[in-house]
Chains A and B, each alone.
Chain A
Amino acid sequence: MKRLIIRKKARKNFITYGVVILSYIVLMAVIGAGSMPSALQGLLVPMCAYIVAALSLNLTVGVLGELSLGHAGFMSVGAFSGATAAMALADSGLPSWGRMILALIVGAVLAAAAGVIVGVPVLRLQGDYLAIVTLAFGEIIKTVVTNLYIGKNPSGLRFGFLNPDIGLGKGGMMLVNGPNGISGIQKISTLTSGFVIIIICLIIIFNLVDSRTGRAIMALRDNRIAAESVGINATKYKLMAFVISAAMAGAAGALYALSQNTVTANKFDFNTSILILVFVVLGGLGNMLGSIVAATVLYILPETWLRQFSDYRMLIYAVVLILMMLVTNSQKVRTLIGKLLPRKKASGKEGAADA
Chain B
Amino acid sequence: MPELKFEKGKMVPVPSHSIIPERDLGHAPVLECSHLGVDFGGLRAVNDFNFTIGKTEIAGLIGPNGAGKTTVFNLLTKVYTPTRGTILLNGMDTHGKTTVQINKMGIARTFQNIRLFSNLSVEDNVKIGLHNQKKYSAIEGVLRLPSYWKKEKEAHERAMELLSIFNMEYMANWRAGNLPYGAQRRLEIVRALATDPCLLLLDEPAAGMNPAETAELMENIVKIRDKFQIAVLLIEHDMKLVMGICEGICVLNFGEVIAKGTAEDIRSNPTVIEAYLGKRGAE
Query: Which residues of B107-133 are within 8 A (CB) of A?
Result: 108-109, 111, 115-121, 123-124, 127-129, 131-132
Which stretch from A28-36, A205-213, A341-349 is at the chain B interface?
Answer: A205-213
Residue B70, interface by CB 8 Å:
no
Query: Which residues of B126-152 are within 8 A (CB) of A?
Result: 127-129, 131-132, 134-138, 141-144, 148, 151-152
Q: Are B173 and A215 in contact (CB under 8 A)?
A: no
Q: Are A207 and B141 in contact (CB under 8 A)?
A: yes
C-alpha spacing A232/B99, complex, angstroms: 9
Whether A227 touches B128, Cβ cut-off 8 Å, given contacts A2-B178, A208-B138, A212-B151, is yes
B159: min CB distance to chain A, Å:
11
CB contact between B128 and one of A2, A5, A219, A233 (< 8 Å): that residue = A219
CB contact between A215 and one of B104, B128, B143 (< 8 Å): that residue = B128
Q: Are A226 and B142 in contact (CB under 8 A)?
A: no
Q: Are B132 and A231 in contact (CB under 8 A)?
A: yes
B278: min CB distance to chain A, Å:
35
CB contact between B108 and one of A3, A6, A230 (< 8 Å): that residue = A230
Q: Are A216 and B131 in contact (CB under 8 A)?
A: yes
C-alpha spacing A203/B17, complex, angstroms: 62
Q: Are B100 and A212 in contact (CB under 8 A)?
A: no
C-alpha spacing A6/B159, complex, angstroms: 15
| A244: nearest chain-B partner, CB-CB | B138
Query: Which residues of B178-225 are within 8 A (CB) of A?
Result: 178, 191-192, 194-195
Residue B175, interface by CB 8 Å:
yes
| B132: nearest chain-A partner, CB-CB | A231
C-alpha spacing A232/B98, complex, angstroms: 11
Q: Are B128 and A228 in contact (CB under 8 A)?
A: no
| B188: nearest chain-A partner, CB-CB | A226
CB contact between B117 and one of A2, A3, A223 (< 8 Å): that residue = A223
B2: min CB distance to chain A, Å:
34
Residue B282, interface by CB 8 Å:
no
Q: Are B142 and A215 in contact (CB under 8 A)?
A: no
Question: Which B residues lie within 8 Å of A318 (CB)?
Answer: none
Cβ contacts A1-14/B at 8 Å (1 or 0 each):
01111110000000
CB contact between A231 and one of B123, B131, B137 (< 8 Å): that residue = B131
CB contact between B175 and one of A5, A214, A228, A231 (< 8 Å): that residue = A5
Cβ contacts B70-105/A at 8 Å (1 or 0 each):
000000010100000000000000000011100110
| A229: nearest chain-B partner, CB-CB | B109
C-alpha spacing A213/B152, complex, angstroms: 12
Q: Are A230 and B194 in contact (CB under 8 A)?
A: yes
Q: Are A6 and B173 in contact (CB under 8 A)?
A: yes
Residue B174, interface by CB 8 Å:
yes
Question: Which A residues lie within 8 Å of B123 (CB)?
Answer: 6
| B115: nearest chain-A partner, CB-CB | A226
| A204: nearest chain-B partner, CB-CB | B142
C-alpha spacing A228/B191, complex, angstroms: 12
Q: Are A233 and B100 in contact (CB under 8 A)?
A: yes
Q: Are B142 and A231 in contact (CB under 8 A)?
A: no
Q: Which of A204, A221, A228, A231 has the most C-beta atoms of chain B within 10 angstroms of its own C-beta?
A: A231
CB contact between A3 and one of B100, B129, B178, B192 (< 8 Å): that residue = B178
Interface size class of A (residues with CB under 8 A): 20 to 34
B147: min CB distance to chain A, Å:
11
Whether A231 touches B104, Cβ cut-off 8 Å, given contacts A212-B151, A218-B119, is yes
Residue A225, interface by CB 8 Å:
yes
C-alpha spacing A232/B111, complex, angstroms: 16
C-alpha spacing A5/B123, complex, angstroms: 11
CB contact between B131 and one of A4, A221, A222, A230 (< 8 Å): that residue = A230
Q: Classify the secondary structure of B's interface with A.
A: mixed
C-alpha spacing A45/B16, complex, angstroms: 80
B144: min CB distance to chain A, Å:
6
Q: Which of B119, B136, B148 has the most C-beta atoms of chain A within 10 angstroms of its own C-beta?
A: B119
Cβ contacts A176-215/B at 8 Å (1 or 0 each):
0000000000000000000000000001100110011111
Cβ contacts B60-73/A at 8 Å (1 or 0 each):
00000000000000
Whether A211 touches B142, Cβ cut-off 8 Å, given contacts A6-B173, A222-B119, A223-B117, is yes
B118: min CB distance to chain A, Å:
6
CB contact between B173 and one of A7, A207, A213, A216 (< 8 Å): that residue = A7
Q: Are A228 and B99 in contact (CB under 8 A)?
A: yes
A206: min CB distance to chain B, Å:
9
C-alpha spacing A212/B144, complex, angstroms: 12
| A207: nearest chain-B partner, CB-CB | B142
Q: Are A222 and B138 in contact (CB under 8 A)?
A: no
Residue A240, interface by CB 8 Å:
yes
C-alpha spacing A203/B155, complex, angstroms: 22
Question: Which A residues lie within 8 Å of B195 (CB)?
Answer: 230-231
Whether A230 touches B128, Cβ cut-off 8 Å, given contacts A5-B173, A212-B151, A222-B120, is yes
C-alpha spacing A182/B239, complex, angstroms: 75
A125: min CB distance to chain B, Å:
16
A283: min CB distance to chain B, Å:
17
Q: Which of A208, A230, A232, A240 has the most C-beta atoms of chain B within 10 angstroms of its own C-beta?
A: A230
Q: Are B175 and A3 in contact (CB under 8 A)?
A: yes
C-alpha spacing A7/B174, complex, angstroms: 11
Q: Are B131 and A5 in contact (CB under 8 A)?
A: no
C-alpha spacing A133/B18, complex, angstroms: 56
A233: min CB distance to chain B, Å:
5
Whether A212 touches B121, Cβ cut-off 8 Å, given contacts A5-B175, A223-B115, is no
Whether A2 touches B134, Cβ cut-off 8 Å, given contacts A218-B117, A219-B128, A229-B77, is no
8 contacts between A and B (CB under 8 A): A3-B174, A208-B142, A212-B151, A218-B120, A218-B124, A222-B120, A230-B129, A230-B195
Extra inter-chain contacts (5) besides given A2-B178, A208-B141, A212-B134, CB under 8 Å: A6-B173, A208-B138, A227-B128, A229-B77, A230-B192
